Amino acid sequence: MSVPSDNVLHAVAGAGGGVLSMVLTYPLITLSTRSQVESKRAQTSVADAVRKIIQREGVAGLFAGLDSAVFGISVTNFVYYYWYEWTRSAFEKAAATKAGRTAKLTTVESMIAGAIAGSATVLITNPIWVVNTRMTARKRTSENASGPQTAPSTIGEIKALLKEGGLKAFFAGVLPALVLVINPILQYTLFEQLKNILERRQKRSITPTDAFFLGALGKLAATGITYPYITVKSRMHVAGKDEKKVGMFESVKKIIENEGYAGLYGGIGPKIVQSVITAAFLFAFKDALYNVTKAALQRDAKKIKA
């Protein structure tokens, strides 16, 4: 029995870590997404938003779209980490052949690896996130309905999208999503460079606890910088049939005209909290899952050989 390549192990660990961290923080995703797609006039405080969701939809409303989100994050993280680790391995092998240079990613190499992985991930997984955003925002559910509302099903949302706009509807917001590739680029570049500094100073590999705090710091910086594009992408995902032709820059202009610059930052409070906590848990879980899985596979391989 051969041990799978590091690329696959990192991809599997990233998918598992992403699922665990998302489940823990999903109510914050719901609050942030609904704030992003609502106009400024409709937005309320976090406490009021939670109360309104529970009154209308029950506690389950805080987890609207969780099934598609779990599927989406597992695919997203698997694809991202596979391509990121593949690109990183290529750079490190090239670096190891050059005299006087350690096999560690430079800042530029980290950014290139993130760009390749991020672009591949966006193009493959955008349809999943369009469905998830619409389910989370309850786009097709009447706001005036009394009592708990029935959650839309994933299959029902897919059928509605096909009916409204065909296959093209599943790629709504893909341009701002590609622009948002800068988010993981910033996040993982900062993480990698801080990781390299920490490992050089302490002369050891980072622990899951180290990864937790480094991941949180990287995500805090990345989300703060790119949040307006996150808002635009979410609104394009839930746009009505007549709104789908509006481009990214027109969407930004429209939000500013109607709601001011503050409209670009709707829901940033819960989003920052959710993103930072999710990223921190993701990096911690990923490192732990990677170490445990690799050790278990190596033990099994030795037993088979024996």
Ranges 25-39, 64-78, 138-152: which has the least confidence: 138-152
State the alpha helices, DSSP H only, in 97-240.
Answer: 107-137, 154-165, 174-179, 182-202, 208-237
Q: For residue 302, what is the enclosing H or E element?
A: helix 268-305
Which sequence spans correspond to the domains of the chain? Answer: 6-305
Each residue's pLDDT tens digit, 245-296 = 566 778 788 888 888 888 888 777 777 887 888 888 888 888 889 888 888 8
- Give the pLDDT score at 5: 73
Rounded distance between C-alpha atoms, residue 281 and residue 157, angstroms? 30
HEC assignment per residue over 49-76:
HHHHHHHHHCHHHHHCCHHHHHHHHHHH
Q: Enter the tokens of residue 160.
A: 């509605």
Mean pLDDT of the chain: 79
C-alpha distances out from residue 81 to 8, 129, 262, Å: 8, 18, 34
Cα distances from 290 to residues 2, 93, 225, 286, in angstroms, run 16, 21, 30, 6
Amino acid found at 116: I
**For 3, which DSSP code?**
P
* Residues 118-141, mean pLDDT to the nearest whole number: 78
Per-residue pLDDT of 46-96, as tens digits, reads 678 788 888 888 888 888 878 878 888 898 899 888 988 888 888 877 777
CA 267/CA 34 separation, integer angstroms: 8
The CATH superfamily of 6-305 is Mitochondrial carrier domain (1.50.40.10)
Distance between CA atoms of residues 240 and 246, nearest Å: 11
